[in-house]
Every structure is written in C-alpha cells, then in structure tokens.
Amino acid sequence: MDGKVKRKVVIPTRNAEAARLVEKVFKCKWTVSVLELIGQGIYRPGQMKKNIPGITTKVLSDLLKKLCQWGIIERIIYPVVPPKVEYQMTLFGKKFMKVLKSVEELQQEIDFNQARGVVVEEEDSFCTFHNGAK
C-alpha cells in the first residue's frame, strides 16, 4: 500500500435535500433579516431596505428573487400606477420559518448555558445526513 488514506465518498441523497436548501437560504447574511421583516408584516422592498442598514437594492432584489425561486416567499404585483410589489410568505415558507425559530431557541439555550458556565461537550459522531462520514 502507498500510505494514502482512502476517504469514503459521500453522495448526497434525497434525505439531504432539505439540509442543502437550508444551507443555500442562510448562505446570505441578509436572509434572516428579510424573513423576519416579512414575518413582522413588512412586505414592500422599499420598507425592507429602510429597515436593514447596509443592504443594497441589488442584494435585496437578488435575495427576494431567490427566496421566490425556492418557494419560501411569493411576489405579488398590484396593477396600479406606479407599480406596487409586495412579498409574502408562502405556506412552505411558514413551515420553513420553523427552522429559523429552532435556531433562535438553540441560541437562547446556548446563551443560557454560557451564562451559567455550562460547557457542552462535543459528540464523537457526525451529522446523520452526511451518512456518518467524517
């Protein structure tokens, strides 16, 4: 043998598709802010831009387009002059928001444990959706 370590190749499965979507959605640092605003009833891009310091119109527009493509939000165009566009959460988007809520709850637990000085030990196993490969 030549001394090389053979690595197991992990082939994504249909079980990993949801995880990949979560990864894509939260890749952008603005996603959480945009989704929270829509959840709070701020549906118009101009209002979103005013409420998210530092976001550019292009980045917001691209993000809204991607969120629509993934089926998390929908674009509603009103036939008025000047044109009026709003974005609202789809049924899938409302389910998807449970992921965000779970992350928020996890962060609260981490903050609580850190305040108490509790150290969480790492587990030896890897995520199940990666087929256990390290």
CATH (domain of 111): 1.10.10.10
Buried b / exposed e over 25-40, threshold 16 CB at 10 Å, is beebebbebbbebbee
For residue 59, the surrounding DSSP H or E stretch is helix 57-69
CB-CB contact of 98 with 89 (8 Å): no
Q: What is the percentage of the chain residues whose pLDDT exceeds 90?
A: 47
Among 30, 32, 29, 6, smallest CA distance to 134 is for 6
State mean pLDDT over 56-75: 96
CA 14 from centroid of its chain's CA atoms? 19
Two tokens at 84? Answer: 């009026």
Residue 114 located in a structural domain: yes
pLDDT digits (tens, 9 = 90+) for 107-130: 888 888 888 887 665 554 444 544
For the CA atoms of 95, 96, 98, 101, what is the dihedral angle to 10 degrees?
Answer: -150
Which tens digits make up the pLDDT trace of 73-95? 999 999 999 999 999 999 999 99
Residue 4 lies in a domain: no
User: What is the arithmetic mean of pLDDT over 45-57?
Assistant: 96
Tokens 């008025």 label which residue?
80
Report if residue 53 sits inside a domain: yes
